[in-house]
A and B are shown apart, each in its own frame.
Chain A
Amino acid sequence: MTEPVLSVENLSVRIAGLHILQGVSFDVAPTGVTVLLGRNGVGKTTTLRAIVGLTPRNGEVRGTVRMGAQSLLARPTHRLVRGGLGYVPEDRCVFAGLTVTENLRLAERRGTSPAYDKVYALFPELDRRGRQRAGSLSGGQQQMLAIGRVLLNDNRLLLVDEPTKGLAPKVVTEVAEVLERVAESVPVLLVEQNLAVVRRLARDAVVLSAGRVAWTGNAQDLLLETALTKSLLGVGSGEVHA
């Protein structure tokens, strides 16, 4: 069996007395997209944030997260990211007061050559709007900037949190296309609510329910089981169309 790029074992997170994750375990395959699914509030974003070391200070994280032989939980976020863990947060989090170019420049790392060619090939809009403040971009353009920022550097794994949230259907398709191309070269752990996007991108799925793993397996198999998707996600797989 192929070694997973990321192994999460018995991950528990408590924040302000709430036991949000209760022993979550799953693997992320070294290629393609693994999707993390579940209803609202089950701990999907908390899982990604715990992996990348962004649990709030009043939170407590237990368990093991490994990328290859390396244990991640004790390391500060900036070191994890420099070690090849790219993170695209929910709601984009671009720096609204900075220009597009400044947002990208911020992601550059000393001693490496940033892949502007790759980013501008994927998102020509970012090249054209270099001097525009990121806060004045549309939601879709901000999402492209958030993804582009991470793609400037080489990554061993990308964590992408709800990249299509709040976007127009046409932009959702564009973002899905980009992620599909990105996933050809780097594995992606994706949190996504849009089942059409999941159907298009994901090979493996992990479903969370009430802070625990409720189901793991092939994402396409899951989407074929209408009764199962309805019970796990509260929505039938046929209800969302590409």
Chain B
Amino acid sequence: MSTVILLTLTGLGLAALYFLVASGLSLVFGLADVLNFAHGLFLGVGAYATWWAAGNLPGAGSDGLGFLVAVAFGVLAGSAVAVLVELVLIRPLYSRTIEQVLVTVGLSLAGVALLQATWGADARPFPRPEWTRDVTSVLGAQVPNAGLLLIVAAAVVLGALLAFLRFTRYGLIIRAGVENREMVTALGIDVRKAFTLVFAIGGAAAALAGALGSVYFGTVSPGQGGSLLIFAFIVVVIGGMGSVVGSAYAAVAVGLLQQFVNYYGTSGLGDLCVVGLLAVVLLLRPQGLAGKVAHA
């Protein structure tokens, strides 16, 4: 029983990580039709900026309030880079899908190379609060606190995103834009501002995933954004482009499936099953679990 609980909670921790990356990716694709392969870079920037801040930024540190400051710095850095990428590289290329893919793939590769050139290719130990190294007993299962932290963070981000989409003017514009971007402009709204905003939000969420993911794994490395991005894309497709709630459901399904199959089957079989789940969803429900609607 305790094994099932442990697998469920670690699976949910993994799901939380996928959701943090996928939610922004999904909104960006749903609203702006941009398949952003550079999204993993925002995660890397968030992780490295947090790591750097913990050691160098006045007021920041690896524990207590200092760690919160370091994470906040990382999130801001990821968000700022996302906004810069949207304004400088993506904006001139809206509706030019092939060029967008080429630019974002190129940027992703260049970003990883830049991180490697600056801080080396090897994984580095990540400064993290002592309590995140401990475990908490949940119904007999010893669950890593870092995993629980990811779950709580993802739940808070999900709630905040839903509240933003439901109760704010820009949330309304984003929900409408996901359905019919052209009609939003035909109502006199400059939808490009909403594009920048979803990049900022997506970048912030990915950067948070980078920081908390590094807490979970205990290390930070230049390539970790890329490997998480693959599963985030799968989550976005299964959940439905543009749907935050769909991404949440899909992340949970993917995280749990991966964790249980990897444990009870052969290591690596879980990843294969996730691809199988993707194929089944595409065959039976090509629009994903929630379709192309940004549900609030």
Can you spell out 10 A-B residue pairs with CB atoms less than 8 angstroms apart?
Answer: A54-B182, A57-B95, A78-B187, A89-B183, A95-B176, A97-B175, A98-B179, A102-B176, A106-B172, A106-B187
| Cβ of B185 to closest chain A Cβ, rounded Å | 4
Tell me the residues in window 75-94 of chain A with beta carbons closer than 8 Å to chain B beta carbons.
76-78, 81-82, 87, 89, 93
Q: Given the complex of chains A and B, what is the CA–CA distance between A98 and B173 in angstroms?
A: 10
User: Are A106 and B184 interface neighbours, CB within 8 A?
Assistant: yes
Proximity string of chain A (58-78) to chain B, C-beta cutoff 8 Å, 1 when within and 0 when not: 000000000000000000111
Q: Given the complex, which residues of A lie within 8 Å of B190, measured CB to CB? A: 76, 78
Contact among A78, A96, A149 for B191, CB-based, below 8 A: A78
Closest-CB distance, A124 to chain B (whole angstroms): 22
Residue count of chain A within 8 Å CB distance of chain B: 22
Within 8 A of A (CB), among B146-199: 172-173, 175-176, 179-180, 182-191
B183 near A93 with CB under 8 A, answer yes
The answer to whether the Cβ of A131 comes within 8 Å of any Cβ in the partner chain is no
Min CB gap B44→A, angstroms = 32
A107 contacts B172, C-beta separation under 8 Å:
no
Give the residues in chain B near A95, CB-CB below 8 Å. 175-176, 179-180, 183
Give the complex CA separation of A77 and B183 in angstroms: 10
Total residues of chain B contacting the partner, CB 8 A: 21
Interface residues of A, Cβ cutoff 8 Å to B: 52, 54, 57, 76-78, 81-82, 87, 89, 93, 95-98, 102, 105-107, 109, 149, 153
Residues of A within 8 A of B95 (CB): 57
Cβ of B252 within 8 Å of any chain A Cβ, yes or no, is no
List the A side residues contacting B184 at CB < 8 Å.
Answer: 106
How many Å lie between the Cα of A98 and that of B95 in the bound state?
25
CA distance in complex: A102, B172 (Å): 7
Do the beta carbons of A81 and B182 come within 8 Å of each other? no
Q: How far is the CA of A78 from the CA of B189 in the complex (A)?
A: 5
C-alpha gap A109/B179 in the complex (Å) = 20
Q: How far is the CB of A127 from chain B (nearest CB, A)?
A: 19
- B293 contacts partner chain A, Cβ-Cβ < 8 Å: yes
Chain A residues closer than 8 Å to B186, beta-carbon distance: 52, 54, 77, 81, 87, 89, 93
On chain B, the residues within 8 Å of A153 by CB distance are 188
**Of listed B96, B175, B295, residue having the most chain A CB within 10 A:** B175
Q: Is the CB of B172 within 8 A of A149?
A: no
Docked Cα-Cα span, A45 to B166, in Å, equals: 34
A207 nearest CB across to chain B (Å): 26
Q: Which of these, B179, B180, B188, contacts A107 with CB under 8 Å?
A: B188
**Which of B172, B173, B188, B295 is A82 in contact with, Cβ under 8 Å?**
B188
* Assembly CA distance A174 to B187 (angstroms): 24
Alpha-carbon distance A96/B176, docked complex (angstroms): 9
Give the interface centre of A57, A87, A106, A107 by most chain B CB atoms within 10 Å. Answer: A106
